[in-house]
Amino acid sequence: MAQAIDLPRNEAGIATALGVLKQRFGDQFQTGQAIRDQHAHTTTWIRAQAPDAVVFPASTQDVSEIVKICATHKVPIIPFGTGTSLEGHVNAPAGGISVDMSRMDKILAVHAEDLDCVVQPGVTREDLNTHLRDRGLFFPIDPGANASLGGMAATRASGTNAVRYGTMKDNVLSLEAVMADGRVIRTAQRAKKTSAGYDMTRLLVGSEGTLGLITEITLKLQGIPEAISAARMSFPSIDAACRAVMTTIQYGIPVARIELMDELNVKAANAYAKLDLPETPLLLLEFHGSDRGVIEQAEMFGSIAEDVGGTDFATTATAEERNRLWKARHDLYWATLQLRPGAQGISTDVCVPISRLAEAVTGAQDKAAELGLLAPIVGHVGDGNFHSLVLIDMEDASEIERAETFTAFLADEAIRMDGTCTGEHGIGQGKMPYLVKELGATTEFMSAIKGALDPQGIMNPGKIFGPRRD
């Protein structure tokens, strides 16, 4: 793929840094081919570009030393969480050192009274939620994968719960980070709000490792709701489903999740999980609140959705029933792959104003059909964010080319509709050309910030900023 361009390597600097790091970090430092390859695994169609070595810091002090060594020798530093990023973030196009945060996996503090906690970047969201459960608390952001919280902060991740709880930008109170010169900063105190200077927290959230390495994260938490219920409803068309979503959001119904599956996805789910859902567009919902509140929310949604032609409304309250109802969604990735065994699934990630959602989704369906691609759609539709999972035979050059045409079409259309080429996956290598299309001169000011905070360009080079694509 064109996105994974190799950048010039500083061979002398890399060789020296490898020696210094080996001496300093011993067994925490690895250069075996298998481990290097594993750290460039991108879970996408972007060609892997392995780092020269992988180092496993155990503390902020370790990270600071690694950065100082790399800064001295002008060697690229690529942070690594769980490797579930989707746009080539962990690739090493100029070589360099992958900094694997998996040993920085301590939950440092839970402040139940303040509804926050402090974690190291290698803690995964599932580990955190397991730890919190007995305290009656949870961390709501759920991008699907059991990603590390450092990686989620770095890519400004979100997922199914964002319609109610926001994205990582809304749920990180403060970060500790090692900057490009090895200095350690804390972006904010632990107060719930602040007007103290520039919002360095939000600048680092979503910076994809290009400004600093996140070494500690203070996260907002939520009380586990008294009640959680779920619902599903089928619709005669994407347009009808999207109108139901728009009205639900406008009425201020505080849905916790509202997910769209298109007819192709419903078919896949039926086949995979032996369900008998009507093979038309489907909305799956989750409600959080009091016992009475969740019933009220479900009733209000049901009434709104029936008005636009929704049918087969099913609702539930017990965890077991809810899990059965949501099974179609949870298994979707695997179910979809079964539509075409052997194919690779490539996820797109556009997000549009919700008033344009029906047009964007049906436009994507039509374009996929025109190009002869199999590309079922699932969407976090309360936010106007949806993913086509394009199923590609990676041996077929024509199909790859058509898939590139398709992803470019989606990005262009989203931008035309005042939306974005990436709702939650980030720019990485894959979306660089679209960032410039989307934000124009704004990217030059982003570049100026990058230049000011990382003058040597050693922090995850070759990500976010790339060549123009007209």
Q: Provide the 10 A C-beta neighbour count for residue 73.
A: 19
Q: Does 34 bind a second copy (CB under 8 A)?
A: no
Q: Which helix (H) or strand (E) holds 366?
A: helix 357-370
Q: Does 121 bind a second copy (CB under 8 A)?
A: no
Q: Does 443 bind a second copy (CB under 8 A)?
A: yes
Tokens 């050309």, located at residue? 433
Query: Measured from the CB atom, is 13 or 433 closer to a second copy?
Result: 433
Query: Measured from the CB atom, is 6 or 226 closer to a second copy?
Result: 226
Q: Are strands 184-186 and 350-351 parallel, antiparallel or unpaired?
A: unpaired
Single out the residue of 22, 105, 107, 114 in contact with a second copy (rule: CB under 8 A): 114
* Long-range CB contact pairs, 246-249, < 8 A, 24+: 246/354, 246/355, 246/357, 247/304, 247/307, 247/308, 248/300, 248/301, 248/304, 248/305, 248/382, 249/163, 249/354, 249/382
| Cβ proximity of 378 and 387 under 8 Å | yes
Single out the residue of 11, 19, 146, 445 in contact with a second copy (rule: CB under 8 A): 445
Question: Nearest approach, Cβ of 468 to a second copy (angstroms)?
Answer: 14
Quick note: the x/- pattern for a second copy over 288-317, rule CB under 8 A, is --x-xx--x---x-----------------
Query: Measured from the CB atom, is 308 or 343 closer to a second copy?
Result: 308
Site for a second copy in 178-197 (CB under 8 A): 179, 183-197
For residue 30, what are the CA distances in angstroms to 79, 80, 102, 104?
Answer: 15, 14, 14, 17
Query: Measured from the CB atom, is 317 or 415 closer to a second copy?
Result: 415
Q: What is the DSSP string of 5-58?
A: ------HHHHHHHHHHHHHHHGGGEE--HHHHHHTT--SSSSPP---SEEE---
Single out the residue of 259, 367, 431, 460 in contact with a second copy (rule: CB under 8 A): 431
Q: Does 167 bind a second copy (CB under 8 A)?
A: yes
Nearest alpha-carbon partner for 95 in 17, 223, 8, 218: 8
> Of 51-59, 64-72, 312-320, 379-387, which part binds a second copy (CB under 8 A)?
379-387
Q: Does 108 bind a second copy (CB under 8 A)?
A: no
Question: Nearest approach, Cβ of 120 to a second copy (angstroms)?
Answer: 18
Query: Measured from the CB atom, is 91 or 420 closer to a second copy?
Result: 420
Q: Provide the 10 A C-beta neighbour count for residue 296.
A: 14
DSSP structure class, residue 103: G
Residue count, binding to a second copy (CB under 8 A): 93
Radius of gyration of the chain (CA): 22
| Cβ proximity of 156 and 431 under 8 Å | no
Q: Does 215 bind a second copy (CB under 8 A)?
A: no
Site for a second copy in 238-277 (CB under 8 A): 246, 249-252, 254
Three-class secondary structure of residue 313 per DSSP: strand
Question: Nearest approach, Cβ of 302 to a second copy (angstroms)?
Answer: 15
Quick note: the x/- pattern for a second copy over 35-74, rule CB under 8 A, is ----------------------------------------
Single out the residue of 44, 49, 171, 385 in contact with a second copy (rule: CB under 8 A): 385
Query: Measured from the CB atom, is 89 or 232 closer to a second copy?
Result: 89
Q: Does 425 bind a second copy (CB under 8 A)?
A: yes
Site for a second copy in 318-337 (CB under 8 A): none
Tell me how far apart the alpha carbons of residues 421 and 4 are, in angstroms, rounded to a whole number. Answer: 18
Single out the residue of 44, 158, 161, 347 in contact with a second copy (rule: CB under 8 A): 158
Structure tokens, 155: 């890519």
Q: Is 395 exposed, middle or buried (0-12, 13-18, 19+ CB in 10 A)?
A: exposed
